[in-house]
Amino acid sequence: MHNSTSRTSAIAKAERFLARQPLFLDTETTGLDPRAEIVEIALIDHDGSVLLDSLVKPTRRIPNDATRVHNISNEMVADAPTWVELWPQVQVLLAGRSVGIYNADFDLRMIQQSHAAHGVLDGVASATGFCIMKLYAEFYGEPGRNGDFRWQGLDKAARQCRIDLPNSHRAQADALLARAVLHFMAQSQT
């Protein structure tokens, strides 16, 4: 399936990202729309240790469709910290770090949307985010429509890499899975 030039390039990038000892971030949300908010966030350190794993109380109800995906209910977040309460801790953890995210555009947009919903004025922390999903697409090498590479979902990437970690669509499990995918790429042969 893979193009050896793009695969070699992706392996080298994965090695460089890992050399920075990145954090890994994942969120679960109220949905995908422009008003969706974070309902769970996890930050995993480069060594796999959990730095943060917290539910987040959104400003609006979690729709049933979202709950069916991640199994996070309105009752579960009723007593959780709000984004305003949690953001200072997230910001400190992210400050100056390289952060690996599977579908970084989505999670970074959810941070901005949660900021807007909760009236947080800070921008996204001084972290340097990189997208593991786009890197994996380059590594896997399935041709896309526009001369680029087709994105693979996290479930699919884990199966393709034969990673034996659960993908429960919960933030901690997905951040650990994204970390494992990056390690798999960095340790692969061209």
* Spatial contact of 150 and 137, defined as CB atoms under 8 Å apart: yes
For residue 41, give Cα distances in angstroms to 58, 137, 184: 12, 24, 23
**Is residue 109 classed exposed, middle or buried when 0-12, 13-18 and 19+ CB atoms within 10 A define those classes?**
middle
pLDDT over threshold 80, residue 48:
yes
pLDDT over threshold 70, residue 190:
no
Residue 57 — very low, low, confident or very high, per pLDDT cuts 50/70/90? Answer: very high
* Spatial contact of 136 and 161, defined as CB atoms under 8 Å apart: no
Quickly tell me which residue has 């920075």 as its tokens: 20
Compute the distance between CA of residue 108 and CA of residue 47 in angstroms, rounded to an integer. 23
So what's the pLDDT on residue 4? 81
Residue 122 — very low, low, confident or very high, per pLDDT cuts 50/70/90? Answer: confident
Closest by CA position to 185, among listed 23, 33, 2 = 2
So what's the pLDDT on residue 169? 86
Question: In terms of pTM, does the model score above 0.85?
Answer: yes
CATH of the domain at 136: 3.30.420.10
- Ranking 18-22, 71-75, 114-118, 142-146 by mean pLDDT, the lowest is 142-146
Based on the structure, what is the number of domains in the chain?
1
So what's the pLDDT on residue 20? 95
Domain residues for the domain of 129 are: 4-186
Side-chain half-sphere CA neighbours of 188 within 13 A? 24
* Spatial contact of 171 and 90, defined as CB atoms under 8 Å apart: no
